[in-house]
Amino acid sequence: MSQIAYVETTGGVTAPRGFTAAGAVAAIKYERKDVALAYSDREASAAGVFTTNIVKAAPVLLTMEHIKDGIARAVVVNSGNANACVGPRGLDDARAMANEAAKLLGLPAEQVLVASTGVIGQPMPMDRVLSGVQRAVAELSSEGGHDAATAIMTTDTVAKEAAVTVELGGVKATIGGMAKGSGMIHPNMATMLCFITTDVAIDSRLLHQALNVAVENTFNMVTVDGDTSTNDMVLVLANGASGNRKISDEDLDYVTFATALEAVCLKLTMAVAADGEGATRLLEVRVQGAATQHDARLVARAVASSNLVKAAVFGKDANWGRIICAAGYSGASFNPDTVDIYVGDIQVAKNGGGLPFSEERATEMLSGNQAVFTIDLHNGDSCAIAWGCDLTYDYVSINGSYRT
pLDDT digits (tens, 9 = 90+) for 47-63: 999 988 889 999 999 99
Calculate mean pLDDT across residues 153-176.
Answer: 93
At residue 331, the pLDDT reads 96
Q: How many CB atoms lie within 10 A of CB 255?
A: 14
Alpha-carbon distance of 349 to 184, in angstroms, equals 32
Please identify which of the residues 191, 218, 223, 228 carries the catalytic annotation: 191
Lateral strand order in the sheet of 370-376: 353-354, 346-350, 340-343, 370-376, 282-290, 382-389
Residue 284 β-bridge partners: 372, 387
Digit-coded pLDDT (tens) for 218-236: 988 887 655 566 888 999 9
At residue 188, the pLDDT reads 54
Among 211, 171, 250, 270, smallest CA distance to 48 is for 211
Q: What is the pTM of this model?
A: 0.86
The strand pair at 340-343 and 282-290 is best described as: unpaired
Alpha-carbon distance of 293 to 71, in angstroms, equals 33
Phi and psi (nearest 5°) for 49? -130, 140
Higher-confidence residue of 276 and 315: namely 315
**Alpha carbon separation from 167 to 114, 204, 244 (Å, rounded):** 31, 20, 9
Q: Per mean pLDDT, which range of 116-130, 252-266, 273-287, 333-347 is the poorest?
A: 273-287
In this structure, are residues 378 and 340 in contact, taking their beta carbons and an 8 Å threshold?
yes
Decide if pLDDT at 183 tops 80.
Answer: no
Average pLDDT, the chain: 91
**Alpha carbon separation from 315 to 84, 234, 290, 309, 325 (Å, rounded):** 36, 33, 29, 10, 18
Residue 242 exposed, middle or buried by CB count within 10 Å (0-12, 13-18, 19+): buried
At residue 53, the pLDDT reads 86
Instruction: Tell me whether residue 165 is one of the annotated catalytic residues.
Output: no
Alpha-carbon distance of 289 to 375, in angstroms, equals 8
In this structure, are residues 251 and 208 in contact, taking their beta carbons and an 8 Å threshold?
no
The alpha helices in 246-392, defined as continuous H runs, are: 252-274, 293-305, 307-314, 320-328, 359-365
